[in-house]
Amino acid sequence: MPRPRSNSNPAFSRPSGGKKSKPKGDYRARQPAHEYELEALPGLEQVVATELAAVPLARDVRGLRFWYPGSPERLTRLRSAVAAYRIKTWDVPRPRGLLGHQQLGELTAFVGEVAEQGGHRSFRLGAAGKESAVMQRLAEELSTALGLTHDPEEGELLLRLRPSADEQGWDVLARITRRPLSARVWRECNMGGGLNATIAYAMHKLAGQRDEDRIFNPMCGSGTLLIERALLGPYDAMVGVDISADAVACARTNLRAAGRDVEVAQVDALHTGLPPRSFDLVITDLPWGDAIGSHQSNEALYPAFLKEMNRLTSRRGRLCVLTHELRLFERVMAQQSDWDAKELFQVYSGGHHPKAYLLHKRA
């Protein structure tokens, strides 16, 4: 079993030398502002709001809706959001009003600008009654005017229509990227039961991001938790293990695609052979007993896992876990005396409602 490899990525090296002068102003503030909205997995709204708060020049923020000037490229780098949409509201009582001469011209210009910036080659409508005659005509008009293919199932430019907040008009939301932001470009290998990358990001941010952490990802699967942490910034060391050779190969493929060098080994997480207190943060997506593992095997796995991770973590180490086996996990927690736990979030994803917990060692 290899020891965790220290992070030596030059991209994370600390700057040296004298201070650089700050620019006197940001040219983007002088650009025309457009309205946007971020989509979050239910349960992760606050994580997305926190990331949005760090976006320079975002203003008039109302929940996940805000105004932003200049190029939307900065928004495509958000990692907690499922998707980012440019949004525009029309003062019409129903979607049929968008077929009026003036409204249709404005809508065509709006959609055309988003398509040009995002490189979209096709579009689809996401709205209640999208099969109606009005929606079909709207799709035909946009396709003819913009030269975009209307692909109702796989269209790259997703257009969502909904009543405005005051119910006096209709919002049109145009996704600024061809794929959701949660569909990471590094994901060349997929596995059944793979973790949504936005959930992995949220787990790391809420577990605490520390440059000095030695990080262990047992049962690493396709490597999502490893990659999301490697992309966040410096850490002292990180290693992942999985008992499945296919999972290890998949994780290595995705790590290469992400341009990150992290040690991954085919090892049983409960029998690593590593010495006590090897890690400061252990983080994992435990088997839920459906796509991976079984409910019966989890009865033995969960208590054994908590015991072994207590051995492997430092005195002030943390353990962050995600699971859908909520009754089992909480029962096992009540029967042990090594850890104190708090719930970080419960998220809705893929038809499930898993919870993330952060555990600290008891004194």
The stretch 334-352 carries a mean pLDDT of 94
Torsion sign, CA atoms 289, 293, 296, 302: negative
Residue with tokens 């990802």: 217
Report whether pLDDT(239) > 80: yes
- Confidence band, pLDDT 50/70/90 cuts, at residue 293: low
What value, to the nearest 5°, has the Cα angle with vertex 300 and ends 299 and 305? 110
Q: Cβ(281)–Cβ(360) under 8 Å?
A: no
Query: Tens digits of per-residue pLDDT, 241-285?
Result: 999 999 999 999 999 999 999 999 999 999 999 999 999 999 999
Helix spans in 34-181 (H): 45-53, 101-118, 133-146
Report whether pLDDT(126) > 70: yes
Closest CA to 126 of 89, 90, 154, 97: 154
pLDDT for the residue 296: 78
Give the chain's radius of gyration (CA, Å). Answer: 23
The distance of Cα 336 from the centroid of its chain, to the nearest Å, equals: 32
Instruction: Please give the Cα distance from 202 to 198 (Å, whole number).
Output: 6
Percent above pLDDT 90 for the chain: 82
Query: Tens digits of per-residue pLDDT, 43-78?
Result: 999 999 999 999 999 999 999 999 999 889 999 999
Instruction: Please give the Cα distance from 321 to 199 (Å, whole number).
Output: 11
Q: Cβ(99)–Cβ(132) under 8 Å?
A: no
- Confidence band, pLDDT 50/70/90 cuts, at residue 10: very low
- Greatest Cα-to-Cα distance within the chain, rounded to the nearest angstrom: 72
Q: Cβ(255)–Cβ(262) under 8 Å?
A: yes
Percent above pLDDT 70 for the chain: 90
List Cβ neighbours of 134 (8 Å cut-off, separation of 6 or more): 95, 96, 99
Q: Which amino acid is at 352?
A: H
Prediction pTM value:
0.89
Instruction: Please give the Cα distance from 338 to 363 (Å, whole number).
Output: 9
